[in-house]
Amino acid sequence: DTGVSQDPRHKITKRGQNVTFRCDPISEHNRLYWYRQTLGQGPEFLTYFQNEAQLEKSRLLSDRFSAERPKGSFSTLEIQRTEQGDSAMYLCASSSVAGLAGGHFGTDTQYFGPGTRLTVL
Amino acid sequence: AQTVTQSQPEMSVQEAETVTLSCTYDTSESDYYLFWYKQPPSRQMILVIRQEAYKQQNATENRFSVNFQKAAKSFSLKISDSQLGDAAMYFCAYRSAWSNYQLIWGAGTKLIIKP
């Protein structure tokens, strides 16, 4: 396990459809984060899990968005009734508060996956 | 609320030269972390360097170093001996040490390397 993985890498959908993205964090990491990034901008925080508990949600996360991390491992982000404004790159990151699992840059450093690019037509 | 500002939308540098990317932030907290991430075209976000606010010594990672000025709330990134592979969007990010764990990001600086 060399990094955070996300699936799919690209998703094209029609307005009104539901989509689900998956994120697999680095295996020792107990924290998982979702961000959204639109073209030419920095990422915006969406939500954060510690183990299976969702501890923080941004106001950006409308009722159409839901995230889960059922067993404290992988996470899913679902968007219901997609809108054109949902088109963006969805980034997942993970981190660890424990010792060596924090990696070279130390504990609780966030490492990112490749992202899922969503296009809503 | 904390904010991060990157005032340079784009910078260019000749290969092998040195370039400095600027970042300022606003916070009322005394304990926090600052980061520079690199995002190459169509590739994932990669951490370049991390600075803890309580450390006076500037962080260094090979050709990358920072100038952290806590009183001025400034956190610039210096890239020495620029290489073609350094071409990317560079994002400055802030994270509180205690109150929450989300990263707060600047808008990014596009770095162009001229061969």
Quick check: helix, strand or coil at residue A9? coil
Give me the DSSP letters along A83-119: -GGG-EEEEEEEE-SSGGGG-TT-TT--EE---EEEE
The mean pLDDT of B60-68, rounded to a whole number, is 96
The total number of residues shown for chain B amounts to: 115
Distance from CA of A17 to the nearest CA of B (A): 25
Phi and psi based region of residue B16 (left: phi greater than 0; alpha: psi -120 to 50; beta: remaining): left
| Band of pLDDT at residue B40, cut at 50, 70 and 90 | very high
Distance of CA B18 to the CA centre of its chain: 15
Question: Mutation test of the interface with chain B: which of A10, A29, A41, A60, choosing the one with the most B Cβ atoms within 10 A?
Answer: A41
Nearest to A42 among B50, B100, B107 (CB): B107
Residue B103 and residue A44: Cβ atoms within 8 Å? no
Residue with tokens 């949902």: A86
Q: What is the pLDDT of residue B109?
A: 97
Residue-level pLDDT at A45: 93
Give the distance from residue A31's alpha carbon to the nearest chain B alpha carbon, in angstroms.
9
CA distance A106 to A95: 10
Q: What pLDDT sits at residue A39?
A: 87
Tokens encoding A22: 């998956």
Please tell me which residue, B25 or B97, carries the higher pLDDT value: B25
Listed range (A5-14, B50-59, B75-84) with the worst mean pLDDT: B50-59
Tokens 């994002």, residue located:
B91
Contact at CB, A56 and B47, closer than 8 angstroms: no
- Rounded to an integer, the average pLDDT of A76-103 is 86
- pLDDT of A72 reads 85
Name which residue leads in pLDDT, A39 or B85.
B85
Distance separating alpha carbons of residues B101 and A32, to the nearest angstrom: 10
Q: What are phi and psi of B5, to 5 degrees?
A: -125, 125
pLDDT classification of A98: cutoffs 50, 70, 90 = low
Spatial separation of the C-alpha atoms in residues B75 and B115, rounded to whole Å: 27
Shortest CA distance from B4: residue in chain A = A42
Contact list, B91 vs chain A (CB under 8 Å):
42-43
Top pLDDT among B100 and A23 is at A23
Residue A101 confidence (pLDDT) above 80: no
Q: In the predicted model, is pLDDT for residue A100 greater than 60? A: no
- Which among A113, A4, A21 has a CA at the least distance from the CA of B39? A113
User: For residue B1, what pLDDT band results from cuts at 50, 70 and 90?
Assistant: confident
CA B96, distance to chain mean position in Å, is: 16
Using CB atoms and an 8 Å cut-off, which of residues 81-110 of chain B contact chain A? 91, 93, 100-108
- Contact assessment for residue B6 and residue B27, using Cβ atoms and an 8 Å cutoff: no
> Tens of pLDDT along A30-45?
899 999 999 889 999 9
The phi and psi torsions of A111 (rounded to 5 degrees) equal -110, 135
Average pLDDT, chain B: 94
* pLDDT number for residue A18: 98
Q: What are phi and psi of B84, to 5 degrees?
A: -55, -35
Which tokens is A7 given?
A: 């699936």
Chain centre distance of CA B21: 7
